[in-house]
Chains A and B, each alone.
Chain A
C-alpha cells in the first residue's frame, strides 16, 4: 500500500512535468484566445475555468493554461483512487497519454471537466461541476461499456491521426485533415445505438404531427 502511494506520487510528479514544462512557451491559438476573451469580458460558458481566470485576473499564456494543467495533473491520483481495478495502469495511462497531456496544456476546459468526470464515478454530484465546465462531460457520465467504447475509438483515432499518414499516398487525396471525423462519428453512433434513438424520436415527432 505504502509503495503504491509512493508510485502514484511519483507518477503525479511525472504528469506535472509533462503538463507544466514550458506551459507558457507557445502563443495562444485561436480557441484559447476565445477563452481569454471569456475571462476578460465575461460570458455564459466554461464557467469554472472562467471564474478561476476572473478570480486571479489571469491573461498570460501560462495563467490561462494553469487550471487545465493542474486538473490534468490531479486526474492521475484521482483515477487511481476511483478505479476499482487496474488502478496503477490507469494512472500511468492518464499521466502520459499524449491527448490527455495535450488538452491539459491548453486553455480549454476539457482537462478540468475530465477531473470532475473521473471523480463523479465515485461521487455522482461531481458531474455537476463537470457539466458546468463543459456539456461535453456528458460523454463520461459513467464508466459503462459505451463510454469505454468512445475512449477506445479516441485512442484508435489518436494512433491513426492524419499525421501518421503524412508523406503517404493517402495524404495526396487533398481531403480535409479531419476527414476521419465522419467514419469516427459513424462508428460512435453505431456503438451507442443512436439509430434506435433517432427512430424513436422520428416516430414521436410523427405522432405529434397527426
Chain B
C-alpha cells in the first residue's frame, strides 16, 4: 500500500511537472506577463517589470495613486497587464468590452494605451 501511494504521488508529480512550461501552472501564485518588446511607458500596472524590459523608469499605476494619474495635464502612455484586471490596479482594464483583449491580458499579454485624464485609447494590442 505504501509503495502504491508513493508511486501514485510521483506519477501525479510528473503530470504536474508537464505543465511547468506553460503559464497556467501555478498561475494563482505567479503571473507572467510578457513585457519583452513593449516600448517605454509613463505608467504601468507592473512598473518593475516594465522598467526592467524597457530600460526606462516607469511610474506604478495603482488604486492608491489613481487620482495623480487622472490629474496628469498631458497625454500619458500606459502599459496594462494582468494586474490591470485586479483591484490593486483599480480594475481599470475590466471596462474593456473585447473579451479577446481581456483573455490576452489573462494569458500574459500586455496592452499599451494612451490616456488623457483617464480616457484610454488603445495604441498597441496585447501580444
Contact = CB atoms under 8 A, between A and B. Distances in A.
A28 B6 CA distance: 34
Interface size band for B: 20 to 34
A96 B49 contact: no
Contact of B48 (A26, A30, A93, A161): A30
A30 B108 CA distance: 13
Interface string B10-48: 100110110011010111111111111000000000101
Contacts of B28: 161-163, 177-178
B17 A22 contact: no
Contacts of A97: 13
A34 B46 CA distance: 12
> In terms of DSSP, what is the predominant structure of the interface of chain A?
helix
B52 interface: yes
Interface size band for A: 20 to 34
B53 A27 contact: yes
A28 B49 contact: yes
Contacts of B32: 26-27, 29
Interface of A: 18, 21-22, 25-31, 33-34, 36-37, 89, 92-93, 96-98, 101-102, 105-106, 161-163, 177-178
